[in-house]
Amino acid sequence: MGKKVLDICCYSGGFALNASRGGADDVIGIDSSLPALELAKENIILNKMDPSRISFMREDATAFMKEAASRQESWDLVILDPPKLAPRKKVLQSASGMYRNLNSLAMQITKQGGLLMTCSCSGAMTQSGIFLNILQGAALMAGRKITVLRQAGAACDHPIDPSYPEGAYLTNILLRVL
C-alpha cells in the first residue's frame, strides 16, 4: 500500500493498528495521555504486529498539527477522533469552534486528494445535525475542498434504544480532501 497514516487523538491505538494491518507502511499515533499511549504500545505486541511500522507519540494534538502544517508535512490518511468536546447542548457553540479548528488543521496536513476520517463522540454534536456544516467551515478555513465519501454512526455493537435518543452519540465521516 505504501501509505502514510496519522491517527490524531489515538487513545489505545485502535485505528492506527487497523491502518497498519490494512497495509499502511508508516503509521503515527498522537495522544496527550501517557497511560493511553502505553496501552497502544502494548496493543502492538498483543496483536503480534510489526512495531517498526507504528509509532506513538505523546503530543498535544493542536500543537502537533500546527507544527506539521508549518513544515508542510502531509499524510495520505488522517484520522481525527477527539474526546467528547460537547458533553451538553449548553457548550455546543464553543465545542463547534474546537471541532472546526481541529478539522481545519487536519485538512491542512492531509495530502491533496487524501482522506480524512473525522469523528465525534459528543451526543450534543451528533444530535444537532451541524457536524457537516462545521466541516465545511473547516475546509474554508484550511483553503481546501472536501467531498463526503461516507457518513456513519455507531456500529451494531452500540445499539440505540428509541426511548433513549441520547444514545445516538457517535458520528464518523470520511472525506476526500482536495
The residues annotated as belonging to the active site are 121
Query: Which of 2, 3, 29, 5 shows the shortest CA–CA distance to 109?
Result: 5
Q: Is 169 helix (H, G, I), strand (E, B) or coil?
A: coil
Ranges of H-type helices in the chain: 14-21, 34-46, 61-70, 92-108, 123-128, 131-142
* Cα–Cα distance list, 6 to 18, 127, 159 (Å): 12, 28, 29
